[in-house]
Chain A
Amino acid sequence: GQQVMQIPQYQHVQEGEDFTTYCNSSTTLSNIQWYKQRPGGHPVFLIQLVKSGEVKKQKRLTFQFGEAKKNSSLHITATQTTDVGTYFCAGPIVRGSTLGRLYFGRGTQLTVWP
């Protein structure tokens, strides 16, 4: 079955440093989603990437989807303490225009020291 792998599992940075997490799939993905889960919270949708080679930015966050649509990355520039949490990539099974099951990676837990 489909597997989504994510590295690193943990990342500790000082406030102001950059952060990157990488996601790899064993199969080609129709699209990829990213979620953030704060400590004690629930996953919150960040973005979806659909096109091969797509790059999207949300303020200090940059998301990339690989040319082969089998890998993706999330890069945070100049981290802040509010960025603390676990970042998950997820490969969805999309049936038509609606969402089927999501295959989540293990997540990268980001800690930011002030």
Chain B
Amino acid sequence: DTGVSQNPRHKITKRGQNVTFRCDPISEHNRLYWYRQTLGQGPEFLTYFQNEAQLEKSRLLSDRFSAERPKGSFSTLEIQRTEQGDSAMYLCASSQDREAFFGQGTRLTVV
């Protein structure tokens, strides 16, 4: 499968714990995006990278969230001190021009 790959697919964590998600984009795509989606809503932009540079972060992204793309290939999204409100589907997408290709997402449940 040469699409966008995300791991894990599901994560259940206790409130206050840290979690990290991984995204492997389509190999020739230089742009990588993170979105968050809750039930009944459209995907909400979090941040994006061009190669290894983080070009934009949403104001909604608190200091507990950090994303990296160290070598311009895969990316990680870390949430520190998780809260129940962080429960959502975290979607990664990659793009080469104007079309975004989404991964299957990581569903986070904070209990």
Interface residues of chain A, those whose CB is within 8 Å of chain B, are 6, 9, 31, 33, 41-45, 48, 88, 90, 92, 94, 97-107
Contacts and interface: CB of A to CB of B under 8 A. Distances in A.
A6 B42 CA distance: 10
B97 interface: yes
A43 B43 contact: yes
B102 A105 contact: no
B50 A42 contact: no
B97 A99 contact: yes
B65 interface: no
B42 A99 contact: no
Contact of B56 (A90, A97, A101, A105): A101
Contact of B98 (A44, A94, A104): A94
Nearest to A92: B98
Contact of B100 (A99, A105, A107): A99
Interface residues of B, number: 28
B91 A98 contact: no
Q: Which 4 A-B pairs have the closest CB atoms?
A: A104-B42, A42-B102, A101-B45, A99-B95
B44 A98 contact: no
A42 B95 CA distance: 15
B85 interface: no
Contacts of A92: 98
B74 interface: no
B102 A101 contact: no
Given A99-B98, A101-B48, 4 more contacts: A42-B102, A99-B95, A100-B48, A101-B58
B48 A98 contact: no
A44 to B, nearest CB: 7
B43 A99 contact: no
